[in-house]
Amino acid sequence: MNETERAACAYFDDELESVQREQFEARLRNDAGLRDQMAAWSSIRELVVGEAEAATSDLADARFEQIWDQVEASLDRPSDARIPSPVSRGLGARLKWLWPALAATAATAVVLFWWSGEGNGPDSEVQVARATDTAPSIAGDPTSPRLDGGFGAPVSNDLQIDRIEFAGRVGQIAKIPGAKGTTTVIWVQEEPQPFDSERSL
C-alpha cells in the first residue's frame, strides 16, 4: 500500500485533517484515476449497505417478537437476571460451579472426622460405607488406607487428599496451621476470564 493509496483510503473514510483533505482534493481534480477509485469505492459501499438492508427488509416483525419472547423468558430466570458487572459479582456466584466439589470434600471430611473420632466403635465401618456412597471414589474405595490420626493433625499413615479434579478443573488442598487450629484451603485453578475489557462482552 503506497502513500497515495493510504491518502485515498483516509480521504474516502473521512479520516483526513482539513489541510490534508484540501491537498488531496487538489490532487483529485487532476487525477481521473483517483476520481474513478473514489467513485468505485462509493459504489461498493452502496452495494454492501443495500445488500444488508435488503436482507433486513425481508425480515418479518414476527421474528423479533419470537426473539423477545425468548429474551423475556431468559431475563425472568434468576440466573440470567441482570448482574452489574462480571467483575463485581459475588464470590459465591462466580464459584457456584465449585459447590458440588465442596460438598464432596465436606462429605469426605465428615467421613474422616467420624473415622478418627469413633473409628473404634463396632458400627464404624457401616457408617463409613453409608457416608461415602456419594463421596469421591477414593474415600469410598474399600482398599483405601485406614485413617488413624485425628482430623487436622495428620500422621504419616493418614490418607490426605491434596488434589481434586472435577468438571475439567483442578484444585489443590492445603492445610495451614494457625493459632486457632488448622485451616484447610482449596486452591482452584480457574481459566483466566478477560472481564476487564469490552471485548469480553
Partner 1 sequence: MVSKDSDDLTLVEACRAGDRRAFRILMERHQRRIYTVAYGYVRTKEDALDVVQESFLKVHRYLDNFRGGSSFYTWLYRVVSNVCIDHLRRNKRRRAVEYQDEIRHDSDTALDEEADRRIVNAGDPSALLERKEILAAVQDSLRYLSDTHREIIVMRELQGMTYEEMAQAMKCSKGTIMSRLFHARKNLQKRLLERFDEKAPSVGAAEKRGESVRAPKVVLP
| Cβ partners under 8 Å of residue 183, min gap 6 | 175, 176, 177
Stretch of 30-38, 90-98, 99-107, 151-159 contacting partner 1, by CB under 8 A: 30-38
- Size of the chain in residues: 201
**CB of 32 or CB of 176, closer to partner 1:** 32
Position 153 contacts partner 1 (CB under 8 A): no
Please pick, from the candidates 25, 36, 118, 148, the single residue that binds partner 1 as defined by CB under 8 A: 36
Binding residues for partner 1 restricted to 44-103, rule: CB under 8 A = 44-56, 58-59, 63-64, 67-68, 70-72, 74-75, 80, 82-86
DSSP H or E stretch at residue 176:
strand 169-178
Interaction between residue 149 and partner 1 (CB under 8 A): no
- The C-alpha cell that represents 65 in the structure block: 417478537
Query: Which of 70/120 has CB closer to partner 1?
Result: 70
Q: What are the percentages of helix, strand and coil residues in the chain, rounded to 5? A: 55, 10, 35
Kindly indicate which of the ranges 35-43, 91-99, 115-123, 149-157 contains the residues binding partner 1, using the contact rule CB under 8 A.
Answer: 35-43
- Residue 155's contacts (CB-CB under 8 Å, 6 or more residues apart) are 148, 149
Give residues with Cβ within 8 angstroms of 156, minimum separation 6: none
Residues that bind partner 1 (CB under 8 A): 1, 5-6, 9-10, 13, 15, 32-33, 36-37, 39-41, 43-56, 58-59, 63-64, 67-68, 70-72, 74-75, 80, 82-86, 198-201
